[in-house]
Amino acid sequence: MTALKRIARLSAAFLGSNVARGGIAFVLSLVIGRALGVERFGRWVWCTTWAATLTFVCDLGLGLLLPRDGARTEDVGAAIRDSIGELAGSALVLRLAVAIPAAAVMIVAAPWVAGDAETVRGLQLAALLGLVSAVYGCVGAAFRSRPARVPAILVVETSWHGVQLAASFAWVRAQPTASVAALLAIAVAVQLLQTITALAMWRTAFGADARIRVPGWRFTRDTLRRALPFAAAGLVANVQNRLAPLMLGSLSTQTDIGAFGAASRFATTARLAPGAIFAGALPVLTQAHGDERAQSDEAFRAFDRLFAVLTAVTVLPALLFARPLLRLVYGPAFVSAAPTLVWMAIGLAPALTNSATKIALYAVGRERTAMAWSAVSLATQAAAALWLMPAFGAEGAAMAIAIGEFVIWLPLRRANRAARTASPSSPRRAPTPTLAPPRPVVADVPDPAAAR
């Protein structure tokens, strides 16, 4: 199977799972919203937001490091095949070292943060939900490093989301006065069962010898060092996503915030398919980088061609039909946001290709380069926003995003080409995996198993 076909297969699996889970989450919100009412539903949203925040804080970049480095350990010889177990073990140690104290602080501080008993209990259970989600994230990310195992773990995750929906629906039917805490307890129980299911699948996916093990301090420290650029990149991406509406609140009007919010929903929707492709491409490109030069170059070129087509298909509808789309989805009052949507579409073209280039840089071990240029993009966007927002409002915010992405487009592509160009004295091979082999391995001799 070619690299492009493997990427397409995994992307379809991720996209199908994302759509299914998004639909389940939407129905779950309807079920809970109708059962709790507006005010108590707001408490539930607030508590789940805290849980998601805790999970994000505890990610530490390991959500990207595990699929990337885990892919390097597959079929590379018995000397380091077991490293996926120690890699997952080190990720668990690192996450728990942050998640347990953070969850404890949330539990203790809940009475001071929340104003009523129900929200206090909900926030305390949200801390447990964030903790369990952080643990599952290590196991789930390890499965994503094995393209052949990705569909199975996605089915498990989607199935347990369905179980949460069914259990929550049954509970609110049986208990018309269901509490926020009870619904969060269901979420915690489902997340625990999902983790147990994934652990039960571990032996089948990775082999009996690749069990999860707690490694030594040196290995764990090295894992953290390699994960930090991913953590920094995630932080920059989150700031970029929130910078425009936050600055609009200070530099413009509430109307501009509404116009920007309506237009940004289209950009968020447009990123669903590319996001699925990114998740599917990272382990495939990582393995391809260790192949022979011609095979590796073809895999990366195919990925570039795929994104050129996808970018055109994604951007053109917003460019050509901004006004009809806004009128159809939000109503005539939002047609004035059409120029903002057009500028978002203009910025989406370099944004998508930049994201694809960053994935390629991650695959070849140049995540620090990707993170550095992301920081340049953020700084440029902030400076442009200060200049443009007072005069152009929401449209200026969209312009600033586009400027930030265009500024780094060419440097990123040049960095990607340089990263994949082997010098005569440095034979092409995948970057060194996190786990040092227990015995010397001659790295310059290609492993026949790695070329499969």
Report pLDDT for 189.
94
* 153-157, 306-310, 439-443: segment of lowest average pLDDT: 439-443
The average confidence (pLDDT) of the chain is 80
| Residue 337 tokens, joined | 């946001």
Mean pLDDT of 180-205: 90
Would the pLDDT of 265 be above 60? yes
Task: State what percent of residues in the chain have pLDDT above 90.
Answer: 19
**Residue 220 φ then ψ, to 5°:** -65, -40
Would the pLDDT of 451 be above 60? no
Report which of residues 442 and 137 the model is more confident about.
137
Mean pLDDT of 30-44: 79
Would the pLDDT of 129 be above 80? yes
| Residue 217: Cβ within 10 Å count | 9
Mean pLDDT of 216-242: 85
Give 304's Cβ-side CA count (13 Å radius).
12
Report pLDDT for 441.
34
Report pLDDT for 450.
35
Residue 229 and residue 375: Cα distance in Å, rounded?
11
Would the pLDDT of 307 be above 60? yes
Report pLDDT for 215.
81
Would the pLDDT of 154 be above 60? yes
pTM given for the model: 0.70
Residue 115 and residue 101: Cα distance in Å, rounded?
23
Would the pLDDT of 359 be above 80? yes
Band of residue 293 on the pLDDT scale cut at 50, 70, 90: low
Report pLDDT for 353.
87
Packing angle between helix 180-206 and helix 117-143, nearest 10 degrees?
Answer: 10
> Taking the domains of the chain in order of start, what are their residue ranges?
3-215, 227-419
pLDDT digits (tens, 9 = 90+) for 108-127: 988 887 777 888 888 899 99
Residue spans of alpha helices (H) in 321-366: 322-330, 338-363
Report pLDDT for 153.
87
Would the pLDDT of 438 be above 50? no
Packing angle between helix 150-174 and helix 180-206, nearest 10 degrees?
Answer: 160
Report pLDDT for 426.
39
Report pLDDT for 406.
94
Report pLDDT for 383.
94
397 close to 347: Cβ distance less than 8 angstroms: no
* 68-77, 85-94, 212-221, 275-284: segment of lowest average pLDDT: 68-77
**Distance of CA 399 to CAs 28, 154, 405, 406, Å?**
36, 37, 10, 10
Mean pLDDT of 211-230: 86
Task: State what percent of residues in the chain have pLDDT above 70.
Answer: 87
Report pLDDT for 254.
66
Residue 395 and residue 327: Cα distance in Å, rounded?
18
Q: What is the DSSP letter of 367?
A: H
Mean pLDDT of 258-279: 76
Band of residue 136 on the pLDDT scale cut at 50, 70, 90: very high
